[in-house]
C-alpha cells in the first residue's frame, strides 16, 4: 500500500511531481452544504507560495488552484472535490547532472533504492512542490472547521536557527503581527534581526533549520480515537509527514521530561483549566483547551556548497545543488503545518461523529485559564 | 471510526480494560512459516511488567500471554493470531471516589466528555494496562523482522528528569548494560545516581518525566511510503500513541533547528554514510542506516499529592490518587517503544513488498560510518 | 494486508481455527451508552449452532460467548468489545489422512498454495466455525440498529435444492413461521416436504445447495457511500464473504435482466413507492424501502461419497470426508446472513453520520407501498 | 467516510460529475518500472465510449485521458498516477425540470435525502460518466497484470433481455467475435437478432436489462484474503459497485442452489481440475483456474415513457427523461466490468505479496481441464 492518502473520514489523496504538467488531489468525505470557492483556498496557497520575499526561493509558482468537482451552486455537495494546480514555472534545463548522482541529505538515494528509479526532474515526487495540495486541501478543512464548529487553526515561526522567537502567549508575541512579515513571526521587534540573519545566510550559501508552532482554538472536548489514533498521535503523523520535519511535540513536549507531576498536570476548577502543559490533549482526546504543537524543520540540503556523495554506479562524486532554493524551508512551512493540523482536526471531528453523534456529555465543557 | 487498530499490512487490534477480566488482541497479516511460540513474547512482557524493582509500581501482573490461533506445529500459518492475557491482580476496591471526579492530568475528563461515560475502574481503557498487548504484538513483529530481514530493534532510557544519560554511540554507553539495571540505562556508571534519585522521588510522592531512545539496525533501504505514510511519520504516530508521550524526534530531531545545511546533511562515500543526522530516513524512506528515534514521556499524574479538580456536577473538588503507581512511567516505556517501532517496521516491510517486490535496486546498499 | 476485518466505522476483526482452543473477535467503533449483555448475543448463536435438529451436523458446540471488554454497568462504553468462544467439541482424531491430501471442493488446495502450509485440523481457518464470531458481532450490530434507528434485520430460507419456497411478501409466507421450524422456512405448508427431502438426502450421502433471503426494515434513506462503497456493493461483499456463497442479488436481481425499464423502475407517489424492484437501494444509497438481498449457497463438499483428488506430492488419490457434516450448509446460513447484513447497515449508519450528521433532508421519507 | 476509493494496495480514487469541467482519478500503489502510456488506456476508453453504434447513446465523449504524474521516461515510477478527462459535450440546457423532481428509478431521491442537495446536471456524481475513470484505472491494472503475471481479463455480453447468448466455453461462442460487434457478443450468429431487438426497443422508447460475463485467465493460485476479503467477496463488491448492477455470481452461481455436492465439487487429478463450478475460487482464494463472474444489469430508468413521481415539495408529478440515453446500459458495461475485475486482481496480487512474498508453494499449480 502506498501512502498518498491522509485521513480516514475526511481523506485527501494527492499526486504530482515538481516538474510534471500538474499536481492535484482529491478530498473525499467533505460534509455537504458548506459554502466553498477557489478563493477560499487561494489565500493560504499565496502564503505558502515562493517568491513572496527575498528570503524564499525566487522560483515563481502562481499556484492557481481549480476546483473540478464536488461544489455546485457555491456549496459542497458531499461528492469528492477534485483539485488541480498546473505547474507553470517548469524551467527546462539539463538534469543530467543530478540524474546520475545522489544529492546528500536528499531523497534521491532512498527513492532510487526503493523504486529502482526516480523522476529526477526537480526532485520529482519528493519535492516540496506537493505541499501546495496539502495547503489547498487544508483550506477546505479550515472552511469545514469554521462552519461546523468555529474551530480556528493558526501557526507561526518560533525559532530560526539560533534565534529563539516569542511563542504564542509569551511576552512580545502578537498574533496580529504574524501575517505582517515574511517570516510568520509574532514578535514585531525581532523582524529586523531575522532579516539580517537571512541576508547573511543567503550570502554564505548555507541553509538553516527552524521551529514552527501551530495551534487550534475552539475545539470541543472529545476528539481523538484511542488507543492508536489518539489526536496527538495523528497530529504527530501529520506534521512529521511534512518535508524536512525531524521532530514534533505537543504541549510541554520535550520539556515535560524534566517536569514533576505536580508541575505538569493541568489542574481544573469550575472556572476552567489552570494551565495547558497537555497541549489540549489528555489520553489522546481533546480537552477543549487549545491544541498546541511544535515541529522542528531541518536545514534544507539544497545548498550551493559542495558535498561528498556517490553516483548511480556507486563511485565517489561531489554534488552542488544549483537552482533557486529556500535557504530556510521552515519559513514557508507555517501554512503547511496549519493545513496538516486542520486536516487532522476535521478528520477527527467526522470520526467522532460517526461513533458518538448521539452522546450528550454530562457536563458543559470547561474553559481554559492558561495564558 | 475508532482507533484500536495499528498498521495496514501487519495489523494489531487490541481490546481490554485495566480491571476487566482480560485484555487481548489480534495480529492480522503475519507472514506464514515463521517459528513462533508464547515464549518468544514472554521475555518482553516480563521486561514491561511492573513489580520488577522497587522503582516501579508494586502491582503484580503475571502477564502470561496465550496464543489462541494462527500458529500450528510451531510456526505461523498466515491466519490471524489471537492473543489473550488474563487480568489477575484486579484488587477489588471502592472506586466511588474517582467514579465521580476527574483526576487532573488524566483522561478521566476527556473520556467522559467524548463517550458520555467511562469505565472508571483503574482507568479503564485509558490505563497503561493495554500496553501489554502492544508488547506481545511487538514481540511477534520482532520475530518477523529477525527472520525475514535480520532487523533488530532495541531501546534504552536516555534521560530521567534532570539527569541526562549517555545515548547510544556516546562515550559511556554500552548496549550490554541496558538489560542489567531496572532503568534500561546504557551507562553503568550512572545507575547508582538513578537509584538515589528515584528513592528520593518516591518519598516525595511526586513523579518525573523521562526520555527513551529506540533504534533499529539492519534495515534495508526502501521502507516508507511517501508522501503521508513516510517511515518517520508512522514512527511518530506509533510512539506518540503510547500513554504519556508528549514528543517524538528522529535523528538530530529538535537539534536540527539550530544546524546549518552543511552540518546536517549526511554526506555519502562509496564506503558509506559519514554521519546520521537523518536518523536513517530521507524523504520518508529508510536509507539503510540505523533508525534513531527519541520520545519524551511526561511525569505521570497518578501521584498522592493533592490536586485541584472538579466532579461530575462541575463542582470544585480535590483529588489524591491512591493505589500503587509508577513514579516514572518512562522507566517501563522502553519495551513498549521497542514494540511500537517493531510494529511500524514490519508493517512497512510488508507494505514495501506489496508494491515493489519485483524491484532490483541499481546499487547495493551502502553502509553507515556514523558512530 | 490480510482480510480478517470487516467494516470501516463499526469494525469486526476475527480470529480462530476450527480445532484451536478458542475463536474470538473484537468489535471496534460501537457507539457508547447502549445496553448490552452476553444474553443479547446468545439467541442468534443458538440459532446458528449445529445439532439443533437432525438436519444439521451432530457436532455439539455450546458456543457460549463471553464479552471481555467494552461493556460497563450494563452498557457499551465506546471501547472495543472483546468476544471469546471456547472450542469445546474438539474431538481428538487422526488427521493424517486429510493432512496430506486435498479434499475436492474445499479450501485445502488454495490455502496450501497461498501460505505454503495449512492448519488441517477440521479445516482450520477455512472452517465455517468462524461464522460464530460473525453472528456474535452481528448481534451487537442488531442491538445498535434497534436502539439508534429501530432497524430490524431478518432472514429466511427461500430455496432448498430443487424446492422453491415462498419468499417474503409472497402468498404462503409468514415471518412468524420462520422461527418455528429448523429450516427458517416461512411457508408452514412446506415443512414436511423439506423434512422428507433432507431425510432422503442424508441417506444418499450427498449434499445440496440453498438460497437464503435477508431483509432489513426501518432504514432511513441516505445510507451508502458512492461510488465504490455503495450500500448494495458492501452488502454483496458481506454476503459473498460467507462460506459457500456463490451469488448475491439485490431486489429484482438477476430477474432484472429480462425486465423492461417501465417494469423495473419503482414509481413514486406522495403515498410512497409503488414497488421495490430496487431492493431498497438507488444509486448505491438506501431509499427507505426494505433492503432485500438473496444469496446462493453451494452444496457442501464435505460428503462421504468418494471424490478424485491429489495429494501434497501431486499424486492421484481419492478422498472421502468423514466426520459429522451438514448435508445442506444453507440451512444454518440464515442467522449468518442476518449478521452480515446487520454489520453492513450499522457500519453505513455510522459512516453516514460522519459526513452528514448536520444534514436536514428537504423532505420527510416516503413510505413503501410494495407488498 | 466516503466511498470514492477502491482497493487496499492498488488504490483508485475518483472524482467528477457528469457535467462539471472534468472527471479524474488517482491510482496509488502502482508497481514501478512498468511501461505505460496514455495509449494503453485509450483502447478500453474507446470501447466504453458512447456513440460508437446506433445502439448506444449518441452523446459524444472523446474521453481523451491525460496521465499527469507517476510516469517518467515511459515507465511507472511508483508515484501516484493522476488521470484527467475533460468533459467536452456538456450541452448547455435547461435542467429546471429535473432540478425539482425525482426521476423514478434514479438516484435523484436517495442523493437528495442523503446530502440535503444534489448536483442535478445530467445526474451529477450518480451518472455513469464516472465509469470512464474506472476504465482508465482498470487499463493501468491490466498493464500491471500482464507484465507481472501474464494475467488477462476479458468480458462479453451473455444475455440481452430475453435473449440468452452463448457463454464462454459454450458452443457458438468465440472470443474473437466479441470485439467485432457493438454488443461484445461472442456468438456471431446472434448479432443480427440483437440488432433487430435493439432497433425495435429503441422505437418503443423503453429499455432492457442485460447480463455480462467477465473472466480472468492466468491467475496463480493464492490470491484472496479470507475471511472477509475473499477474492470472490471483493469481486462481488467491485462488480456490484457499477451503476445498474443488481446481481453478481461466481462460477456456477445461483445454479449451484440446485446442484448436489457430487455434481458441484470440482474434482482434481494430476492433470488438473476436471470442472470449474467454483469459478476459480475456493475458500475465497484463487485456485489457478479461470475466474468466472457474471453480473446482472437492470434496464436503465432513463426512458422517454412517462413515469409517476414526486417533486421536492413531495407533491405528485410525472417525469419523462429527455436527452440521449442508452436503451440498454448493459451493452457498454463489458469494458467497465473488465476494469473492475482487473482492479480487484491487481489489488489482491499486491496484497498477497505483502504477506506471502517469501512463500514457496509445496506443489506446482495444476492446470484446468474445464472447457
Is A355 within 8 Å of C78 when comparing Cβ atoms? yes
What is the predicted pLDDT for the residue at B185?
97
Contacts of D198 (CB under 8 A, 6+ apart): D55, D160, D327, D328
Cα–Cα dist B248/A294, whole Å: 11
The Cβ-side half-sphere exposure at D245, using a 13 Å CA radius, reads: 35
Whether B22 and B86 have beta carbons less than 8 Å apart is answered as: yes
Average pLDDT of span D199-220:
96
Determine phi and psi for B365, rounding to 5 degrees. Answer: -55, 140
Query: Which of A20, A81, A350 has the CB atom closest to D68's CB atom?
Result: A20
Is D125 within 8 Å of C365 when comparing Cβ atoms? no
Whole-number average pLDDT of chain A: 94
Residues comprising chain A, all counted: 371
Q: Band the pLDDT of B42: cuts 50, 70, 90.
A: very high
Q: State which residue of chain D sits closest to A81, comparing Cα positions.
A: D15
Cell numbers standing for residue C107: 479450501
Cell numbers standing for residue D169: 466455453
Query: Which of A2, A259, A267 has the CB atom closest to B307's CB atom?
Result: A267
Q: Band the pLDDT of A91: cuts 50, 70, 90.
A: low
Is A246 within 8 Å of B241 when comparing Cβ atoms? no
Residues comprising chain C, all counted: 371
Choose among A28, A37, A35, A24: nearest CA to A7: A28
Query: Which of B252, B265, B298 has the CB atom closest to A246's CB atom?
Result: B252
Contacts of D310 (CB under 8 A, 6+ apart): C268, C269, C270, C366, D101, D102, D316, D317
What is the predicted pLDDT for the residue at A92?
56
Which residues of chain A neighbour B362 with C-beta distances below 8 Å?
Answer: 112, 116-117, 312
For an interface test with B, give the residue of C19, C80, C107 to mutate (most B CBs within 10 A): C80
pTM over 0.95: yes
Whether A243 and A14 have beta carbons less than 8 Å apart is answered as: no
Contacts of D73 (CB under 8 A, 6+ apart): none
Cα–Cα dist D121/D95, whole Å: 6
Cα–Cα dist D348/D363, whole Å: 21
CA angle (C12, C17, C21) in 5-degree steps: 105
Q: Distance from CA of residue A161 to its chain's centroid? A: 18
Q: Mind giving me the DSSP string for D41-88?
A: HHHHHHHH-S-SSTTS--------EEE-SSEETTEE-SS-EEEEEE--
Higher pLDDT, D197 or D52: D197
What is the predicted pLDDT for the residue at B91?
58
What is the predicted pLDDT for the residue at B361?
92
User: Looking at CA atoms only, how far is residue A81 from chain D in angstroms?
Assistant: 7
What is the predicted pLDDT for the residue at D55?
82
* Per-residue pLDDT reduced to its tens digit, C140-194: 999 999 999 999 999 999 999 999 999 999 999 999 999 999 999 999 999 999 9
Is C32 within 8 Å of B117 when comparing Cβ atoms? yes
Average pLDDT of span D334-353:
98
Contacts of B269 (CB under 8 A, 6+ apart): A308, A309, A310, A316, B366, B369
What is the predicted pLDDT for the residue at B242?
98
What is the predicted pLDDT for the residue at C57?
75
For an interface test with B, give the residue of D357, D360, D361 to mutate (most B CBs within 10 A): D357
CA–CA distances in Å: residue D91 to residues B169, D21, D48, D53, D100: 70, 12, 20, 20, 20
Query: Which of D13, D21, D33 has the CB atom closest to A26's CB atom?
Result: D13
Q: State what percent of residues in chain C have pLDDT above 90.
A: 87
B-C CB pairs within 8 A amount to: 164
For residue D25, what are the β-bridge partners? D14, D83
What is the predicted pLDDT for the residue at B65?
97
Task: Assess whether pLDDT exceeds 60 at residue B92.
Answer: no
Residues of C with CB under 8 A from a CB of A: 1, 8-9, 29-33, 78, 148, 350-351, 353-359
Largest CA distance in chain A: 68
Which residues of chain B neighbour D351 with C-beta distances below 8 Å?
Answer: 354
Grid look-up 413515469 returns: D307
Cell numbers standing for residue B128: 497503561
Is B2 within 8 Å of C80 when comparing Cβ atoms? yes
What is the predicted pLDDT for the residue at A94?
65
Task: Assess whether pLDDT exceeds 80 at residue D324.
Answer: no
Residues of A with CB under 8 A from a CB of C: 1, 8-9, 29-33, 78, 148, 350-351, 353-359
* Per-residue pLDDT reduced to its tens digit, B240-290: 999 999 999 999 999 999 999 999 999 999 999 999 999 999 999 999 999
What is the predicted pLDDT for the residue at A58?
67
Q: State what percent of residues in chain D have pLDDT above 70.
A: 97
What is the predicted pLDDT for the residue at C287?
98
Bond before B328 cis per omega within 30 degrees = no
The reply to whether A87 sits in an annotated binding site is no
Q: Band the pLDDT of C51: cuts 50, 70, 90.
A: confident
Task: Assess whether pLDDT exceeds 90 at residue C83.
Answer: yes
Query: Which of B2, B17, B69 has the CB atom closest to C28's CB atom?
Result: B2
Cell numbers standing for residue D106: 434514479
Cα–Cα dist D76/D83, whole Å: 13
Cα–Cα dist C1/B358, whole Å: 18
The reply to whether A8 sits in an annotated binding site is no
Is D26 within 8 Å of A15 when comparing Cβ atoms? yes
Whether A102 and A112 have beta carbons less than 8 Å apart is answered as: yes
* Per-residue pLDDT reduced to its tens digit, D117-146: 999 998 899 999 999 999 999 999 999 999
Left if phi > 0, otherwise alpha if psi is -120 to 50, otherwise beta: which for D281?
beta
Cell numbers standing for residue D288: 489457478
Using only C-alpha atoms, what is the Rg of chain A? Answer: 21
Q: State which residue of chain A sits closest to D348, comparing Cα positions.
A: A1
Contacts of C341 (CB under 8 A, 6+ apart): C153, C155, C214, C216, C235, C238, C239, C291, C293
By DSSP bridging, strand D291-297 and strand C5-6 are unpaired
Cα–Cα dist B76/D335, whole Å: 40
Is A356 within 8 Å of C148 when comparing Cβ atoms? no
Average pLDDT of span C306-330:
90
Average pLDDT of span C91-104:
79
What is the predicted pLDDT for the residue at B191?
97
Write the burial class of residue B94 (CB in 10 Å: 0-12 exposed, 13-18 middle, 19+ buried).
exposed
Q: Band the pLDDT of B60: cuts 50, 70, 90.
A: low
Choose among D142, D167, D149: nearest CA to D157: D167
User: Looking at CA atoms only, how far is residue C174 from chain D in angstroms?
Assistant: 23
**DSSP code for C126:** G
For residue B65, what are the β-bridge partners? B85
CA–CA distances in Å: residue A292 to residues A283, A330, B238, C323, D170: 15, 18, 19, 63, 68
Is D252 within 8 Å of C263 when comparing Cβ atoms? no
Which residues of chain D neighbour C235 with C-beta distances below 8 Å?
Answer: 240
Write the burial class of residue A191 (CB in 10 Å: 0-12 exposed, 13-18 middle, 19+ buried).
middle
User: Looking at CA atoms only, how far is residue B52 from chain A in angstroms?
Assistant: 23
Interaxial angle between packed helices B333-356 and D333-356, expressed in degrees from 0 to 180 and rounded to the nearest 10:
140
Is D355 within 8 Å of B30 when comparing Cβ atoms? yes
- Considering only A241-250, B229-238, B315-324, D213-222, which range has the smallest mean pLDDT? B315-324
Is C355 within 8 Å of A148 when comparing Cβ atoms? no
* Per-residue pLDDT reduced to its tens digit, A208-238: 999 999 999 999 999 999 999 999 999 999 9
For an interface test with C, give the residue of B21, B27, B79 to mutate (most C CBs within 10 A): B79
* Per-residue pLDDT reduced to its tens digit, B170-216: 999 999 999 999 999 999 999 999 999 999 999 999 999 999 999 99
What is the predicted pLDDT for the residue at C274?
97
Residue C37's CB is within 10 A of a number of other CB atoms, namely 12
The Cβ-side half-sphere exposure at A133, using a 13 Å CA radius, reads: 31
Q: State which residue of chain C sits closest to D231, comparing Cα positions.
A: C241
Cell numbers standing for residue A137: 486541501
Cα–Cα dist A45/A61, whole Å: 10
The three-state secondary structure class of C317 is strand
* Per-residue pLDDT reduced to its tens digit, A106-152: 999 999 999 999 999 888 999 999 999 999 999 999 999 999 999 99
What is the predicted pLDDT for the residue at A326?
87
- Considering only A333-337, B85-89, D216-220, which range has the smallest mean pLDDT? B85-89
Amino acid at each position: 500500500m502506498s501512502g498518498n492518502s491522509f485521513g480516514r473520514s475526511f481523506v485527501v489523496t494527492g499526486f504530482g511531481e515538481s516538474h510534471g504538467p500538474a499536481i492535484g488531489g482529491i478530498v473525499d468525505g467533505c460534509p455537504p452544504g458548506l459554502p466553498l470557492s477557489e478563493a477560499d483556498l487561494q489565500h493560504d496557497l499565496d502564503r505558502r507560495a515562493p517568491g513572496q520575499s527575498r528570503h524564499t526561493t525566487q522560483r515563481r509558482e502562481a499556484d492557481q488552484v481549480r476546483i473540478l468537482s464536488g461544489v455546485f451552486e457555491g456549496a459542497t455537495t458531499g461528492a469528492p472535490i477534485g483539485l488541480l494546480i498546473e505547474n507553470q514555472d517548469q524551467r527546462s534545463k539539463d538534469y543530467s547532472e543530478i540524474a546520475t548522482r545522489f544529492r546528500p541529505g536528499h531523497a534521491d538515494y532512498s527513492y532510487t533504492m526503493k523504486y529502482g528509479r526516480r523522476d529526477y526532474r526537480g526532485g520529482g515526487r519528493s519535492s516540496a512542490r506537493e505541499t501546495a495540495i496539502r495547503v489547498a486541501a487544508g483550506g477546505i478543512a479550515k472552511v469545514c472547521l469554521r462552519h461546523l464548529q468555529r474551530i480556528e487553526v493558526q501557526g507561526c515561526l518560533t525559532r530560526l536557527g539560533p534565534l529563539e522567537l516569542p511563542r504564542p502567549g509569551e511576552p512580545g508575541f502578537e498574533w496580529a503581527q504574524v501575517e505582517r512579515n515574511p517570516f510568520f513571526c509574532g514578535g514585531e521587534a525581532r523582524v529586523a534581526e531575522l532579516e539580517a540573519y537571512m541576508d547573511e545566510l543567503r550570502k554564505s550559501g548555507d541553509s538553516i533549520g527552524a521551529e514552527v508552532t501551530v495551534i487550534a482554538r475552539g475545539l470541543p472536548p472529545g476528539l481523538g480515537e484511542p488507543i492508536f489514533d489518539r489526536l496527538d498521535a495523528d497530529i504527530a503523523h501529520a506534521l512529521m509527514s511534512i518535508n524536512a520535519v525531524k521532530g514534533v511535540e505537543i504541549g510541554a513536549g520535550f520539556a515535560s521530561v524534566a517536569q514533576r507531576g505536580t508541575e505538569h498536570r493541568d489542574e481544573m476548577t469550575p472556572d476552567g483549566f489552570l494551565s495547558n502543559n497537555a497541549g489540549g490533549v489528555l489520553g489522546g482526546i481533546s480537552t477543549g483547551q487549545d491544541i498546541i504543537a511544535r515541529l522542528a524543520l531541518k536545514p534544507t540540503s539544497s545548498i550551493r556548497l559542495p558535498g561528498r556523495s556517490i553516483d548511480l554506479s556507486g563511485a565517489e562524486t561531489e554534488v552542488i545543488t544549483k537552482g533557486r532554493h529556500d535557504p530556510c524551508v521552515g519559513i514557508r512551512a507555517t501554512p503547511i503545518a496549519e493545513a496538516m493540523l486542520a486536516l487532522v482536526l476535521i478528520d477527527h471531528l467526522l470520526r467522532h461523529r460517526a461513533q458518538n453523534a448521539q452522546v450528550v456529555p454530562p457536563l458543559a465543557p470547561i474553559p481554559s485559564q492558561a495564558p
